[in-house]
Amino acid sequence: MHSPFQEEHKLFRKTVEDFAKNELGPNVDQWEEDELFPNWVFKRAGELGILGAHYAEDVGGSGGDFWMNVVASEALTKCDSAGLVMGLLVQSSMATPVIADIGTDEQKAEFLAPAIAGEKIAALGVSEPGAGSDVAGLRTSARLVGDEYVINGSKTYITNGTRADFVTLMVKTDPDAGHNGISIILCPTDLPGFSVSKKLKKAGNWCSDTAELFFEDVKVPKRYLLGREGMGFVYLMQNFQSERLVGATSALAGSKWALDRSVAWGREREVFGKPLIKREYWKQNFASLYTKYEAALALSYKACAAYNEEKYVKNVPVSMETTKLISMSKAYVGDITGEIMDQCVQFHGGMGYLEDLWVARAWRDQRLLRIGGGATEVMRYAIAKILGF
C-alpha cells in the first residue's frame, strides 16, 4: 500500500511523539495513580497544534487533512497511557467535528476555536443510564421556551465529564418522533442546573476522567442548537465515523508498540537455556500476531483513505460504502488488539499480571475499544445491514 504520509505528516508525527515521550510519558504513572491527568495537557496540546491539525485555519487549525488526525492518534500512544490519549482524542476527534461540520461562525468562535487551542475542554454527551448503543432510546429532553432550550435528564460514561467547559449534547426535542426527534445542543457547564453527579471508576484508562452528568432545568440559548432541530441523529452518525477511525488507529499503534516491546524483552529473557522469543511456540505466535496487525492496519488505512477522500477532498457526506469499511475496521481492530494484548501478557508470565509492568495497563486499557464509540456487536449489525442481510 502506498504510504499516505507526506513530509508535513512526518514532521507533525515527530512533534507529537516528542510531546508524548518527553512531556507526558514521565508523568503518566502518577496520573494513573491520581486517576486524572492535569488540564495543562490540553493547553499544551493546543499550543503544539495537536488538537486542530485537521481543522481549517480560520478556526485556529492547521488546515491539514484527516491523515493529520491519524498521525496524532498514533503518535500520542508513545506516552504509554491510553486513558490520556482518549481524553485528548475526545477533544479533537469526538466532541468537536460536528461543530466544524455544521456549526455557525459564532458557534465555531465560541466553542470550536478555544477547544482547538486547548483553552476550553470538550465532552461528548450521548450515552445515558438507559441508552448506550441505542441512541434513539435516549431520554434527556430539551424543550424550547421562548429563546431558550430547557434541558432535563442525565448522561453517563462521559469522558472529560468532570472538567468539561461544554458538552456537545444529544437531546430529545420531540419525544414522540424517534430518531427524527433528536437534536444536538452545545451546553456550557457553568449554567445553573448542570452538575456532575459522580466520577465513575473504571477497569482501565484510569487517568481519563469519566463522569455521570445531571441536567435539571438547564436553560441554554436557542443559538446553541447545532444545525437543524430533529437532525441530530443524522449528524451524530456522521460524527461517529471520525471517532471510530481514530479509536482504531490509536489502538493499533499501541498494539504495535506492545508487540515490539515484548519481542525486545523476549530476546533478553532466558527460559531453559535460550531466549524466550526463540522458543518455537512464541516464534509462531508472534509471527501470526504481526501478520494480523498488518491486516488490521491495511483495512483501517483503507477506511481512512476513503473517509479522507469524501470529507476532506470532495467535501461530501460519508457514504455507506465508507461507513461499512469504518465499521469493519473498528470491529476487526477491536478483536485483533484484544488478542495481541492478551498474548503479550501471557508472554510475560506472572510479571505480566503485575501493575509494576507496562503490559498490565496496556491489557486492561485496550478492552474499551470493543465497547466505546459503538460496541463490536453494533458494528457487525451495521455491516450486515449495509451488505443487505
The runs of H, that is alpha helices, within the chain are 7-18, 28-34, 40-47, 66-75, 82-89, 97-102, 105-107, 113-116, 232-268, 280-308, 320-348, 358-366, 376-387
Tell me how far apart the alpha carbons of residues 274 and 78 are, in angstroms, rounded to a whole number: 30
Distance (Å, whole) CA 301 – CA 309:
12
Residues 39, 125: Cα–Cα separation, whole Å: 20
CA-CA distance, 186 to 165, in Å (whole number)? 10
Contacts of residue 240, defined as CB under 8 A and 6 or more positions apart, other chains included, come to: 373, 374
Cβ neighbours for 127, distance < 8 A, ≥ 6 positions apart: 155, 156, 157, 158
Give me the torsion for CA of 18, 24, 25, 30, rounded to 10°.
170
Among the listed residues 166, 214, 208, the one whose alpha carbon sits nearest the alpha carbon of residue 194: 214
For residue 67, the tally of other CB atoms under 10 A from its CB is: 23
Q: Which of 32, 128, 229, 243 is the catalytic position?
A: 243
Per the annotation, the verdict on 243 as an active-site residue is: yes
Angstrom distances, CA of residue 279 to CA of 98, 251, 276, 343, 348: 50, 28, 5, 15, 14
Residue 216 φ/ψ, nearest 5 degrees: -125, 100
> What 8-state DSSP symbol labels residue 277?
G
> Strand 148-159 relative to strand 141-145: parallel, antiparallel, unpaired?
antiparallel
What span, in angstroms and rounded, lies between the C-alpha atoms of 343 and 275? 17
- Cα four-point dihedral sign 250, 24, 187, 202: positive
What cell numbers appear for 331 in the block? 470491529
- Give the residue from 78, 88, 92, 98 showing the smallest Cα distance to 21: 78
The residues annotated as belonging to the active site are 243
